[in-house]
Amino acid sequence: MRFLIDQMFPHATCELLNDRGHDAVHVRDRGVDARPDAEVVAVAAAEERVIVTNNVKDFAGVHGVTIPCVLKSRLPPQGMHVHLADLLDKWALAHPEPYRGLHWPP
């Protein structure tokens, strides 16, 4: 699966996901860290990536998300990149073709 990891998550998450066969990039890699949400959405849409973010409000109704968006919070600060990569890997296996809209992995 193709992921765009938002700025609140560690860049190291991308490396772990890529090692597991996914195509993950960080917003910093695409030059849209600290940029308006509409720009993040545009990059994700152009590259057919699932946005991974904690900013539910920003991506839920404000811009009318039309691309898949995974939202996750309450990850432990220690080893966050490992926990997030594990969660996203499991989620991607269960949802090989995610529907357009928001997802909250368990």
pLDDT confidence of residue 65: 59
Domain count, the chain: 1
User: Which range of residues forms the domain containing residue 40?
Assistant: 2-103
What pLDDT score was predicted for residue 88?
A: 92
Q: Would you place residue 103 in the very low, low, confident or very high pLDDT band (cuts 50, 70, 90)? A: confident
Sheet of 102-103: strand order equals 23-26, 2-5, 50-53, 69-71, 102-103
Q: What's the pLDDT tens digit per position in 16-63? A: 999 999 999 999 999 999 898 888 888 988 999 998 988 777 776 555
Cβ-contact 6, 51 below 8 angstroms: yes
Q: Over the stretch 69-99, which tens digit does the pLDDT of each residue have?
A: 777 767 888 889 999 999 999 989 988 887 7
Q: Is residue 15 scored above 90 in pLDDT? A: yes
- What's residue 62's pLDDT? 54
Amino acid occupying residue 12: A
DSSP code of 90?
A: H
Question: Cα(79)–Cα(103) distance, rounded to whole angstroms?
Answer: 22
Taking residue 101's Cβ as centre, other Cβ atoms within 10 Å add up to 12
pLDDT of residue 23: 97
The confidence score (pLDDT) of residue 19 equals 97
